[in-house]
């Protein structure tokens, strides 16, 4: 309990009452603050531990926080100390409250608490509940909206589950310093570190300290960028200012207006994710699918350590970071994605076209292999397979590839490498299943699986570009391409996932599955060629329709 009016003068008395409660009074005996009563046999004692925890206990348990009657770590004021538990979404959750002024320790105008929605985050508010600042969602390692917090310190934060299903934050001091957090009287949240040389507390940072750190500085659907020296606030792409100076959609979404929606997603990298998200334990592909099927979903993100985040209303409190940040997918009408869509198409075409074309060629060869074998051959000559292009145009017949000088497309000379049918058949041992990497919607694809398995996929890169290309990007394209030709359609990524995997270098890719030694008859292989999945059991063959990807 506490009084609205703090003690005046120098006559304050702090002690233990006869009923076992701690109290603060003036020289006249007027109480200004007190705890609950703890009637008990024996004597009570209060002790300030080295951790900063003030503990009321019996004499036998002096300083023992496990058997304390009352302790300050469970009754915070304005300071967050090491090993202090900050509960969320439970009756044990108590906010940190600022002083009224730098010299008045009575209850002030600002508080900080844990908001468990959309990934727990720290939020500071005033007395009316208006948000002043927030940390961003916790991803099990850091608060995503605080890139300035270094990794050494963040490793000291932990979110701990309790036996009753609750959770609490706790942090420990780095070995090199003594640190605490404090809600200052003006509402800012400061990290204070003890400076031994100066014998004083110093503040490495206090938040909010910039315009963009102020909560929702640029309004709904706006984005704040400190890197813009002229105007930190702007509407996100696809949004414009209306007569009331609010960011609204320039083009309405099609979702919900007809049976087929042409809406898409704008990729915004390096941002502080919006407030008020819903969370789901789903992967990237499932998260996109959830948002795409829900017309009220305006944006989504997938963050390691959190999962799928969905936003159904206006997008609040977004900041563009110079370094760090997360990737946000913002739903827009397809007409608003014209420029970005073209660039994405180019990326996809560059990395996937080769796989698709090769798949078509192999499928045609497999489909009509018997007819090719039955081509009329003069009596007495050995059966051979003709190359796709005349040998006279080949620069290196022994290598089995062809670079025609007279082949053009749209007036431009073809610069690629063309492989003969004989070479393809030889390289794959007659298109044997054991050499098949996988298959896409156009049929099986044969490549050197052993190169991937042995850890030398760089040998798949065309030697003519090996030295000039970015090998990291090339290997990522190969990795994505192999995922696209896995045996089962249900394992292959959607095209939107392909775009995400190619654009986000920080995203780890799953390992492709090798085609097993499955013996299929011609009828079963036909099902595979038609985009169906074959499940082989000891009793029968089950055919399952799979949506094409």
CATH number, residue 286: 3.50.4
297 and 410 in one domain? Answer: no
Structural domain includes residue 57: no
Residue 399 and residue 538 in one domain: yes
3-class SS shares of the chain: helix, strand, coil, % to 5: 25, 30, 45
In this structure, the answer to whether residues 415 and 536 fall within a common structural domain is yes
**Whole-prediction pTM value?**
0.59
Structural domain includes residue 52: no
- Is the domain of 257 the same as that of 290? yes
The predicted pLDDT at position 517 comes to: 41
Q: 408 and 267: one domain?
A: no
> Do 353 and 293 share a domain, yes or no?
no
Residue 233's contacts (CB-CB under 8 Å, 6 or more residues apart) are 217, 218, 219, 222, 223, 224
Domain shared by 500 and 388, yes or no: yes
Boundaries of domain holding 188: 77-209
Helices (H) and strands (E) in the chain, counts: 9, 35
CATH code of the domain in which 150 resides:
2.90.10
Q: What's the pLDDT at 531?
A: 43
Going residue by residue through the chain, which has 549 residues, state the pLDDT in tens, using 9 for 90 and above.
Answer: 555 566 777 778 888 988 889 998 887 888 888 888 887 667 899 999 888 889 999 999 998 988 999 998 888 899 998 888 888 765 566 789 999 999 888 889 999 998 887 789 999 999 999 999 999 999 888 899 988 765 545 557 888 888 877 888 888 877 677 889 999 999 999 989 999 999 999 988 889 999 999 999 999 999 999 987 778 999 999 999 999 999 999 999 988 765 556 789 999 999 999 999 999 999 999 999 999 999 999 999 999 999 999 999 999 999 999 988 999 999 999 999 974 443 344 444 444 566 666 666 666 666 665 555 554 444 444 444 444 444 433 333 334 444 455 555 445 555 555 566 666 666 666 666 656 655 554 455 555 766 777 777 777 787 777 777 777 788 888 888 887 877 666 567 777 677 777 776 656 677 776 544 444 445 444 444 444 443 333 333 333 334 444
Shortest CA distance to 362 belongs to which of 478, 444, 470, 247? 444
The total number of structural domains in the chain stands at 3
DSSP sequence for 221-267: TEEEETT-SS-SEEEPTTEEE-TTS-EEESS---BTTBSS---EEEE
Question: Does 306 share its domain with 424?
Answer: no
Residues 521 and 399 in one domain: yes
Dist. CA 138–CA 253, nearest whole Å: 31
Residues 391, 537: one domain?
yes
Residues 89 and 133 in one domain: yes
Same domain? For 369 and 428 the reply is: yes
Length of the chain in terms of residues written:
549
Residue 161: CB atoms within 10 A of its CB come to: 9
């Amino acid at each position: 309990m506490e009084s609205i009016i703090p003690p005046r003068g120098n006559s304050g008395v702090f002690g233990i009452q006869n009923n076992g409660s701690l109290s603060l009074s003036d020289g006249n005996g007027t109480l200004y603050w007190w705890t609950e009563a703890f009637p008990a046999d024996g004597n009570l004692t209060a002790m300030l531990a080295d951790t900063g925890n003030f503990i009321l206990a019996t004499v036998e348990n002096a300083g023992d926080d496990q058997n304390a009657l009352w302790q300050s770590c469970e009754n915070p004021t304005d300071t967050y100390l090491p090993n202090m538990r900050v509960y969320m979404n439970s009756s044990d959750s108590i906010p940190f409250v600022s002083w009224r002024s730098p010299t008045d320790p009575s209850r002030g105008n600002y508080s900080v608490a844990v908001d468990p929605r959309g990934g727990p985050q720290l939020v500071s508010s005033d007395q009316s509940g208006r948000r002043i600042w927030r940390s961003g969602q916790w991803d099990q390692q850091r608060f995503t909206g605080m890139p300035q917090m270094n990794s050494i310190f963040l490793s000291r934060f932990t979110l701990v589950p309790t036996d009753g299903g609750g959770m609490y934050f706790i942090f420990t001091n780095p070995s090199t310093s003594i640190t605490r957090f404090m809600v200052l009287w003006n509402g800012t949240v400061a990290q204070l570190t003890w400076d031994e040389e100066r014998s004083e507390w110093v503040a490495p940072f206090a938040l909010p300290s910039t315009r963009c750190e102020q909560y929702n500085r640029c309004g709904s659907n706006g984005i704040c960028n400190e890197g813009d020296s002229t105007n930190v606030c702007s509407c996100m792409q696809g949004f414009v200012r209306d007569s009331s100076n609010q960011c609204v959609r320039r083009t309405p979404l099609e979702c919900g207006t007809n049976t087929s929606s042409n809406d898409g997603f704008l990729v915004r990298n390096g941002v502080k994710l919006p407030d008020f998200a819903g969370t789901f334990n789903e992967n990237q592909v499932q998260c996109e699918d959830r948002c795409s099927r829900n017309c009220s979903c305006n944006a989504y993100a997938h963050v390691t350590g959190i999962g799928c985040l969905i936003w159904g209303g206006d997008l609040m409190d977004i900041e563009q970071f110079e370094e760090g940040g997360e990737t946000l997918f913002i739903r827009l009408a397809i007409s608003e994605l014209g420029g970005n869509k073209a660039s994405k198409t180019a990326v996809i075409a560059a990395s996937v076209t080769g796989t698709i074309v090769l798949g078509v060629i192999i499928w045609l060869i497999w489909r009509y292999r018997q007819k090719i074998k039955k081509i009329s051959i003069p009596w007495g000559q050995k059966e051979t397979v003709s190359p796709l292009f005349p040998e006279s145009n080949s620069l290196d017949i022994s290598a089995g590839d062809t670079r025609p000088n007279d082949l053009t497309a749209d007036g431009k000379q073809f610069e690629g490498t063309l492989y003969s049918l004989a070479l393809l058949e030889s390289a794959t041992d007659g298109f044997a299943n054991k050499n098949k990497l996988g298959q896409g919607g156009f049929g099986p694809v044969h490549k050197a699986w052993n190169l991937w398995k042995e850890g030398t996929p760089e040998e798949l890169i065309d030697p003519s570009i090996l030295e000039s290309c970015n090998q990291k990007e090339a290997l990522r394209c190969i990795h994505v391409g192999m995922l696209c030709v896995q045996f089962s359609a249900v394992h292959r990524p959607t095209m939107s996932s392909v775009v995400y995997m190619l654009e986000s270098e920080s995203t780890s890719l799953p390992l492709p599955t090798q085609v097993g030694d499955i013996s299929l008859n011609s009828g079963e292989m036909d099902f595979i060629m038609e985009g169906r999945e074959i499940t082989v059991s000891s009793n029968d063959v089950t055919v399952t329709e799979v949506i094409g990807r």
